[in-house]
A and B are shown apart, each in its own frame.
Chain A
């Protein structure tokens, strides 16, 4: 057990990040179990603790009597300095066991800019960074989360990845491990990984070698073992009502980013926005029944004492029984002072009505995502929202008493023109003016938050080049110059970070060395603007002779082989190409959950189906 002395804990900010012991946290004795699993999100406690996926997996694994699951997050820079100065290894929150003593260390990879933190945590833990150098007794390093749909840039640091939803497959992996351990670890580490590759949804990168042609272009994966499937398809929960899930989430003592109960209404979203990786990768839509949700809400409220509950999903307002569910929850929790929130609002007045009912008194501000400033551009990305939709939604909101509206947009979408960018400013101005028309006075606060588009794997834009840094910055200035109303606040992202994200999002395995070199130079917490140092990355690219524009700056050919296609969410390349072509013509593709199948191939490939409770599908 790692000992944390008072002078150490007094020296760091928010020491409660490291002291654990939270309500509902586990704490099994390791000698009583056959498998120990440390879960991590490689970010600070407040961010890591807010991740829904890890909460679910933590609880499910801890229900097994043979397994102890614990948590570990990235120590903030002050704590890291203290730990290094005192030679303290990275430790788990529950039992303060050095992480290197666990059988598994599982990282949830939520975004590319956290990769260097994985390396930093492995280093702090005293675990070999390169999977190929890990000894027989070293911890198995596991990855999961959205980044697995192109995990090649960090593949060399992991023993295996879980592709897709983890609820079932993680238990299978643990059972396999326990059996292999009981047998006396036959064949050692290599044999365990070979066996793991036989579980559907497990990707073992060491069993694959990427091949490159004479020009250095990726041309396919060579499989080193027949245990390794040519394509590892994601695991998917068929029926969300039947699947094991979280009922007693850990309640932190300090304020975290999402400090509330997360009630997951459904998985997947088939609206088909062409820029959205989650929309393509988490298909099909599978709803929970209203009854199941009511019972989960009650259990979680009783088990935690939280007074806030968020109805989460990719697009919560699309839940087919939302109206009835909200009524039921308001009734179930009447007099208990529980507030409900809907994190993702659809742009229509139905959503406004709901939000109004849910936030009876507090008008905390509404957020919409039109994503683009002109109808042409929104059609290209298949957003399926018109200016009229937005104006009706904000009108309804202003009439109900809201004053502040936040609008999300992207810069740098394929085919974008200056007119599309100026359209963002015009749209924001129209929203401001609408307030004045309705209220007869000024007073609206409109925030436009504009990110830089990053083309992602397994989307119709996976072939597209990303804008250059200069182009992003020109577009940001252009937009800024076109905003003349003081009621509009303009926030934008650091384009340098987005460019780097663009490299990693569609990179290949050769980038593992770049990530390593950047970390060596000091890169960590790259997603935190105050910690990001572009020069570490630029130096790393230069030192290794890697040209970042090769990954983010070029239009890829229709036939080009991609280094991510062997870890697949099931959506077909043909569908994605068709969507790309339709996008060029500004043609919309409707949502398949109620209408016709649009042929993305996920359902037949994975043998799953859409579950829409109201339609009885």
Chain B
């Protein structure tokens, strides 16, 4: 029995993983605020969540990968510890009516034992970007083709604290895909590597495509959507379970 499993058995902790969405109505909610709206939903649903000990008890909940303000998602994964056993169907049944408009429950599992942390499991994220095209489609294709052909590509990441240059081509799995969509929109798809050493945000790639490769769009008009999170190419809902 692993260390994690032993503890879980002693404290009769149940581990539950859910795949949920962050839809259009919640696009502009930050990751932290998204976590607290889920905590309130879980409390309304009266699901027996476990809390930490100590001065300021908090719900034992964790997410796979923080999502930026302005990004929607079909692939938010959340691990929640329960203080008592509850059937998967029953949890889903209680949770669904307590979820605000903009969160849907896509899947839910009771895990076998304590799973590996979602954050550590996640190694790839898929994104789809829709952005109004301000030029001809072949022009966009050429810009993206040039990025794909590049061996490396430097991006100047500016945060309030510091500015540094990072090589971002390494974080793109394979090639970025582009196609023309309805209403003069450009649809861009990319798979981004999430590594212990770092990663890149889809908005950063888009900014780079505009600034360095002449992609004919305005990055600030883009709608970004996360379509998947993966671990070794597998969907996260069943990843990282401790083998019995």
Contact = CB atoms under 8 A, between A and B. Distances in A.
Interface in B35-90: 37, 39-44, 51, 54-57, 59, 69-70
Contact of A21 (B26, B42, B54, B57): B26
B25 A21 contact: yes
Interface in A287-313: 302-307
Contacts of A10: 70, 220
Interface stretch (B98-106, B153-161, B167-175, B234-242): B98-106
Contact of B101 (A21, A255, A307, A362): A21
A243 interface: no
Interface in A449-490: none
A15 interface: yes
Interface in B192-244: 218, 220-223
A67 B27 CA distance: 29
B102 A304 contact: no
A251 interface: yes
A110 B188 CA distance: 49
Nearest to A307: B43
Interface string A246-272: 000001011100000000000000000
Contacts, number: 68
Interface in A1-42: 5-7, 9-11, 15-16, 19, 21-23
Given A253-B26, A307-B43, A337-B57, A6 B70 contact: yes
B33 A305 contact: no
Contacts of A543: none
A15 B100 contact: no
B137 interface: no
A361 interface: yes
B92 interface: no
B33 A253 contact: yes
A305 B220 contact: no
B94 interface: no
B29 interface: yes
Contacts of A305: 39-44, 98
Interface in A326-372: 336-337, 361-362
A11 B69 CA distance: 11
A262 B44 CA distance: 17
A6 B223 contact: yes
Given A10-B220, A21-B101, A16 B39 contact: no
Nearest to B222: A6
B189 to A, nearest CB: 18
A16 B100 CA distance: 15
A306 B43 CA distance: 8
Contact of B100 (A7, A23, A306): A23
| Residue of A6, A7, A16, A307 contacting most chain B CB atoms (<10 Å) | A6
A9 B70 contact: yes
Contact of A362 (B41, B42, B51, B55): B55
A21 B218 CA distance: 28
Contacts of B30: 16, 254
A7 B218 contact: yes
A9 B30 CA distance: 13
Contacts of B70: 6, 9-10, 15
Interface string B13-43: 0000000000001111110010001011111
B51 A337 contact: yes
Contacts of B29: 16, 253-254
Contact of B28 (A16, A251, A306): A16
Contacts of A307: 39, 43
Interface string B101-128: 1100000000000000000000000000
A254 B56 CA distance: 20
B56 A362 contact: yes
Contacts of A19: 25, 27-28
Would you list the 5 A-B pairs with minimal beta carbon distance, nearest first?
Answer: A305-B40, A305-B43, A15-B28, A305-B44, A21-B25
15 contacts: A6-B70, A9-B70, A10-B70, A15-B28, A15-B70, A16-B28, A21-B101, A23-B40, A23-B100, A253-B37, A254-B30, A303-B44, A306-B40, A306-B43, A307-B39
Given A6-B223, A361-B55, 12 more contacts: A16-B28, A16-B33, A19-B25, A19-B27, A21-B100, A22-B100, A23-B37, A253-B29, A253-B33, A254-B30, A254-B33, A255-B33
